[in-house]
């Protein structure tokens, strides 16, 4: 009770809502910030740092000849230099974008070991004195430079031209764009890109439609910083481009020149440069930090009515797969009929995601063949590997991953637009309708609940007119309240598509609601497969037994109804099918049939095994006690809390596990259990 009381009082103001719990009108002091306290001593160096920037600027502003400012700023020299600065800074920023976006992509996404050297090289101008950069540019592109003398021979001169100004500016400002963008790309990750790829978008389309919109805040701030750096560039420009009025003398160079000749004008131009720089910095700080700001500024569309495209005729074919991926020890085969759903289950690391990656085309098998109907999607013998975006094998992952920069309708249109469909909007509406999500068509993707978002993700997948559906724990991220309706919607939609479906799950409810067959993976191999009823009623593998919530023990038949386990343990039960003595078989019995005693009981029960208590788990109404029998076999018993307390059962306690023989079903091993790797 005490515990409940305590937890209820804290939950009234959970941490994620803490801001709204502050009393109205209260002002949160900086040092009270939940993000972390600022030690008192830090205020002084922080203030000194700010003053170091502020005092010189204010001092300079105080010395400016304010009444004469308009005349000073509109002198011919000043206007020419300012216009040249703006022109060259815009040009160099454009060049930075063209070169910097691909460079940041390579740095963020490539895994080659040489990448860190490339990164160090790209960032070098950040730490180089600009004059050194200018000298390097001169050595490369000057009249007698490494490249320059060839250009000179062709009648092209770069040094001391406006082009040289742009090159000098690009040299120093490119890292500002690349650093910011690479960081943004890394933090966004590749999950959205995988979704886009398996929903039919080519790599270029994925970049333009998904990646760049997602990193827009980083891209904007990187671009603005690069522009600001180009505008203020001095040393490299002077060294490589010189100071020719109207051609290479930008505003910083003009300021430097006027410093000796006309200090008032130098101050006025400096002020102008500071104002432009401040405007740029303000722009960076007010640019959207996440896609959210942009998302919420997009106009809501009207939820559309019944204007949906007719459902395309499904020409679904059987999915057949057989292949290996050696470095992951993966070797599987699978057949999924049209309209059938196969649940792939297994412990963490069993190879489920690897199998999905191989089917989606995101991974290349060492050897393998994947066909859906007559279409060969992978065949290593002929070198066939249809790229993921052309497979129409659509992957629906654990999280909906709706594109946050698109609204619901835009998300659903993504697939048909990527594949060049003529009526993407109508196809999207039909898919939204099929997934029970049409009513949210006009909503922002980020304003939906988890359950609503999962339906929209389903609609986005259906709109791709999939050949096969891959569902990777589609409800794992949903709460218990939203999962059932999302499961029903998915079951209905999967039936409607009629395409073969592979479902990875850890959840028995998913299996029961969606699957026709179960495949159990262990260590990258299929260890068991069968219909849902077969596998759940008589699970042969330990994972399937756990999924079905029953105990299973493997051995060889010693006599009719007697199974001999390793370590000399015998299990007595009712044999379900005839099999010769010595044949492999397995015993299945529910945890509710296992009784636990502290002393060996006498009388009718036939199975009495000494065991040690390993774990206790609250099953909501019962305590599941896991026991380890002397030969290492683990089994579960469901007991009441009172019984556990009365016997003092806790991990390490010795006890006796007892099961009546009539509660144990003994099944001869059938073809469902594979003890050898798949061929």
Ligand X SMILES: Nc1ncnc2c1ncn2[C@@H]1O[C@H](COP(=O)(O)OP(=O)(O)OP(=O)(O)O)[C@@H](O)[C@H]1O
Residue ranges binding ligand X (CB under 6 A): 328, 346, 348-354
- Closest separation in Å from C-beta 352 to ligand X: 4
The rounded distance, in Å, linking the Cα atoms of 463 and 423 is: 11
Minimum CB distance to ligand X smaller for 352 or for 444: 352
Q: Which is nearer to ligand X, 351 or 361 (CB)?
A: 351
Cα distance between residue 89 and residue 166, in whole Å = 7
The full DSSP string for 116-170 is HHHHHHHHHHHHS-HHHHHHHHHHHHSTTSTTHHHHHHTT---TTSHHHHHHHHH
Q: Which two tokens stand for residue 374?
A: 């007559």
- Least distance CB 524 / ligand X (angstroms): 6
Question: Do 369 and 322 form a contact (C-beta atoms < 8 A)?
Answer: yes
Chain-centre distance for alpha carbon 306: 34
Minimal distance in Å, beta carbon 397 to ligand X? 11
In whole angstroms, the minimum distance from the beta carbon of 518 to ligand X comes to 15
Length of the chain: 679
* Under 8 Å between Cβ of 515 and 503: yes
Q: Which is nearer to ligand X, 193 or 421 (CB)?
A: 193
Tell me how far, at minimum, the Cβ of 359 lies from ligand X, in Å.
12
Cβ burial 32-56 (10 Å sphere, 16+ → b, else e): eeeeeeeeeeeeeeeeeeeeeeeee
Token representation of residue 51: 């003053």
Which is closer to ligand X, CB of 352 or CB of 391? 352
Strands 665-668 and 330-336: unpaired
> CB of 421: closest distance to ligand X in angstroms?
32
Closest approach, Cβ 347 to ligand X, in A, equals 7
Among the listed residues 597, 596, 573, the one whose alpha carbon sits nearest the alpha carbon of residue 585: 573
349 or 651: whose CB is closer to ligand X? Answer: 349
Q: Crossing angle for the helix pair 76-109 and 162-188, nearest 10 degrees? A: 40
Nearer to ligand X among residue 353 and residue 452 (C-beta)? 353
Comparing CB distances to ligand X, the nearer of 124 and 347 is 347
The answer to whether 445 touches 404, Cβ cutoff 8 Å, is: yes
Q: Shortest gap between Cβ of 362 and ligand X (angstroms)?
A: 10
**CB 526 to ligand X: min, Å:** 12
Q: Which is nearer to ligand X, 519 or 532 (CB)?
A: 519
Q: How many helices (H) and strands (E) does the chain have?
A: 26, 22
Shortest Å, Cβ 369 to ligand X: 20
CB of 57 to ligand X, least distance (A): 51
Closer to ligand X by Cβ: residue 254 or 510:
510
CA–CA separation, 375 and 464 (whole Å): 17
If the CB atoms of residues 346 and 415 are measured against ligand X, the closer one turns out to be 346
Residues 491 and 509: their CA atoms lie apart, in Å, by 12
Question: What is the number of alpha carbons within 13 Å of residue 442 lying toward its C-beta?
Answer: 8
Contact status, residue 469 vs residue 396, Cβ threshold 8 Å:
yes
Please say whether the beta carbons of 666 and 609 come within 8 A: no
Tell me whether residue 354 or residue 501 sits nearer to ligand X (CB atom): 354
Dist CA 251 CA 248 (whole Å): 10
């Amino acid at each position: 009770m005490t515990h409940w009381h305590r937890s209820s009082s804290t939950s009234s103001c959970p941490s994620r809502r803490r801001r709204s719990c502050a009393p109205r009108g209260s002002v949160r002091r900086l040092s009270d910030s939940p993000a972390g306290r600022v030690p008192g001593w830090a205020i002084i160096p922080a203030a000194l740092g700010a003053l170091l920037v502020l005092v010189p600027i204010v001092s300079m502003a105080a010395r400016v000849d304010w009444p004469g400012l308009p005349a000073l700023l509109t002198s011919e020299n000043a206007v020419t230099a300012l216009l040249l600065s703006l022109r060259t800074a815009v040009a160099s920023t454009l060049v930075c974008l063209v070169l910097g976006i691909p460079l940041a992509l390579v740095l963020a996404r490539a895994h080659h070991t040489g990448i860190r050297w490339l990164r160090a090289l790209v960032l070098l101008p950040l730490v180089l004195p600009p004059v050194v950069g200018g000298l390097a540019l001169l050595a490369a592109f000057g009249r007698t430079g490494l490249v320059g003398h060839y250009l000179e021979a062709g009648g092209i001169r770069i040094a001391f031209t406006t082009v040289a100004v742009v090159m000098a500016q690009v040299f120093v400002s490119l890292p500002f764009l690349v650093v910011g963008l690479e960081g943004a790309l890394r933090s966004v990750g590749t999950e959205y890109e995988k979704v886009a790829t398996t929903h039919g978008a080519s790599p270029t389309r994925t970049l333009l439609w998904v990646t760049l919109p997602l990193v827009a805040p980083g891209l904007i701030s990187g671009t603005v910083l690069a522009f600001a750096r180009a505008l203020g560039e001095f040393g490299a420009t002077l060294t490589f481009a010189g100071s020719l009025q109207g051609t290479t003398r930008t505003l910083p160079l003009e300021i430097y020149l006027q410093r000796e000749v006309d200090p008032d004008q130098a101050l006025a131009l400096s002020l102008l440069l500071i104002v432009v720089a401040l405007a740029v910095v303000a722009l960076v700080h007010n640019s959207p930090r996440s896609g959210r700001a942009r998302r919420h500024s997009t106009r809501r569309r009207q939820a559309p009515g019944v204007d949906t495209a007719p459902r395309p005729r499904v020409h679904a074919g059987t999915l057949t797969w057989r292949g290996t991926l050696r470095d992951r020890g993966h070797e599987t085969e699978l057949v999924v009929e049209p309209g059938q759903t196969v649940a792939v289950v297994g412990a963490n690391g069993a190879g489920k995601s690897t199998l999905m990656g191989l089917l989606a085309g995101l991974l290349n098998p060492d050897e393998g063949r994947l066909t859906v109907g007559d279409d060969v999607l992978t065949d290593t013998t002929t070198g066939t590997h249809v790229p993921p975006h052309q497979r129409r094998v659509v992957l629906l992952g654990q999280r909906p991953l709706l594109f946050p920069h698109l609204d619901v309708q835009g998300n659903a249109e993504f697939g048909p637009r990527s594949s060049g469909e003529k009526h993407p909007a109508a196809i999207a509406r039909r898919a939204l309708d099929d997934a029970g999500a049409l009513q949210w068509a006009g909503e922002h993707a980020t304003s939906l609940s988890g359950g609503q978002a999962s339906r929209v993700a389903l609609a986005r997948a259906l709109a791709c007119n999939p050949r096969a559906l891959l569902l990777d724990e589609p409800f794992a991220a949903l709460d218990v309240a939203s999962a059932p309706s999302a499961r029903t919607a998915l079951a209905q939609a999967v039936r409607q598509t009629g395409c073969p479906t592979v479902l990875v799950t850890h959840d028995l409810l998913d299996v029961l609601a969606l699957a026709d067959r179960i495949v159990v993976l262990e260590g990258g191999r299929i260890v068991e497969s069968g219909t849902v009823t077969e596998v759940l009623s008589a699970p042969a593998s330990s994972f399937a037994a756990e999924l079905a919530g029953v105990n299973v023990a493997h051995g060889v038949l010693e006599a009719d109804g007697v199974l001999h386990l390793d370590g000399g343990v015998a299990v007595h039960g009712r044999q379900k099918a005839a099999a010769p003595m010595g044949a492999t078989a397995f015993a299945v019995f529910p945890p509710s049939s296992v009784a636990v005693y502290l002393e060996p009981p006498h009388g009718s029960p036939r199975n009495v095994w000494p065991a040690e208590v390993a774990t206790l788990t609250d099953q909501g109404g019962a305590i599941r006690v896991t026991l380890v029998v002397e030969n290492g076999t683990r089994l579960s018993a469901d007991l009441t809390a009172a019984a556990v307390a009365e016997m003092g059962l806790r991990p390490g306690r010795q006890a006796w596990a007892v099961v009546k023989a009539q509660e144990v079903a003994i099944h001869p091993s059938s073809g469902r259990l594979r003890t050898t790797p798949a061929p």
